[in-house]
């Protein structure tokens, strides 16, 4: 079933990127951008993208439910069933803050999960056309080529630490622990970019405080299927519907163990 879904899902995502997202890029009126919460933006393109994706995915696999970021913003109770049964998980524009300011990176992410386990995930960069995808047990691919995650090879592992959803004490603690052990770099504020960076040897380690399914369902599967490691900071796998905070990703299991010990041990 999963292989049969791939081509229609990719075609849908590319059409949404071409017809809805990119025409709005660097072309948004002020009244087409709003804040759902402090520093949490939504645009007309997010809303239109999600509607088109939801309609198309429902046609592709009608028996699956729909868990979309903007639908959950309007009705938080939708998220309660994220870990139950078969569901499409939609992030219509990941990195909306970047998109709204007219800057990269941003992406479109779709995943299919069953009972909390992600079965397949797709991450599209509408600017470059790069498509990352993975299927459970089937490896990870970029633009059709199978990939294996690799470390950066830098003397100090390169770490991008998303600390902006942490408490001040948590931020201070993780920054103190990281000193001298990692080369810290800016985060892209876009999971659709961060996960490929971990797999492609650009970053070695990343920490996420908030772990909503539309941000992480596709990316965790992609990184793990590539041979990297992404799981809860205390070791269990990431499951859709598990609303605990904290997720650690690394370009290899070796670096995951190292980062877990240094940052959270």
How confident is the prediction for the chain on average, in pLDDT? Answer: 96
Percent of the residues in the chain that have a pLDDT greater than 90, as a whole number? 91
Q: Where are the domains of the chain?
A: 2-146, 158-264
Q: What is the reported pTM? A: 0.96
What is the per-residue pLDDT across 85-111, written as a single tens digit (0 to 9) for each?
999 999 999 999 999 999 999 999 999
Q: What is 158-264's CATH number?
A: 3.40.190.80
DSSP-assigned letters across all residues of the chain: -HHHHHHHHHHHHHHHIIIIIHHHTT---GGGEEEEETTEEEEHHHHHHHHHHHHHHHHH-TTSEEEEHHHHHH-GGGGGGTTSSEEEEEEEEETHHHHHTT-S--EEEEEEEETTEEEEEEEE-TTT--EEEEETTS-EEETTEEE-------SSPEEEEE-TTS-HHHHHHHHHHHTTTSEE----S-HHHHHHHHHTTS-SEEEES---HHHHHHHHHHHHHTT-EEE-TTSPBP-TT-----EEEESSHHHHHHHHHHHH-
* 59-73, 164-178, 188-202, 237-251: least confidently modelled range: 164-178
- pLDDT score, position 29: 96
* 77-91, 125-139, 155-169: least confidently modelled range: 155-169
- pLDDT score, position 1: 78
Query: Does residue 37 register a pLDDT over 80?
Result: no
Superfamily of domain 2-146: Fructose-1,6-Bisphosphatase, subunit A, domain 1 (3.30.540.10)
């Amino acid at each position: 079933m999963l292989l049969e879904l791939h081509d229609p899902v990719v075609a849908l995502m590319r059409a949404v990127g071409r017809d809805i997202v990119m025409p709005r890029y660097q072309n948004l009126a002020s009244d087409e951008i709003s804040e759902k919460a402090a520093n949490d933006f939504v645009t007309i393109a997010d809303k239109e993208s999600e509607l088109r994706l939801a309609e198309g995915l429902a046609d592709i696999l009608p028996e699956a439910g729909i868990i979309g970021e903007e639908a959950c913003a309007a009705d938080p109770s939708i998220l309660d069933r994220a870990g139950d049964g078969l569901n499409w998980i939609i992030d219509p524009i990941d990195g909306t803050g970047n998109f709204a300011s007219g800057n990269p990176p941003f992406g479109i992410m779709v995943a299919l999960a069953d009972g909390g386990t992600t079965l397949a995930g797709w991450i599209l960069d509408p600017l470059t056309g790069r498509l990352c995808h993975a299927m459970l047990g089937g490896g990870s691919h970029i633009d059709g080529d199978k990939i294996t995650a690799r470390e950066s090879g830098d003397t100090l592992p390169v770490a991008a630490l998303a600390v902006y959803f942490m408490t001040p004490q948590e931020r201070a603690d993780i920054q103190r622990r990281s000193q001298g052990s990692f080369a810290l770099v800016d985060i892209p504020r876009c999971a659709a970019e961060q996960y490929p960076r971990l797999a492609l040897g650009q970053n070695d380690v990343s920490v996420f405080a908030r772990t909503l399914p539309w941000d992480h369902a596709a990316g965790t599967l992609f990184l793990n299927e590539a041979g990297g490691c992404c799981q809860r900071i205390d070791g269990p796998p990431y499951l859709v519907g598990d609303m605990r905070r904290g997720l650690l990703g690394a370009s290899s299991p070796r670096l995951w163990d190292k980062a877990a010990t240094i940052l959270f041990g």
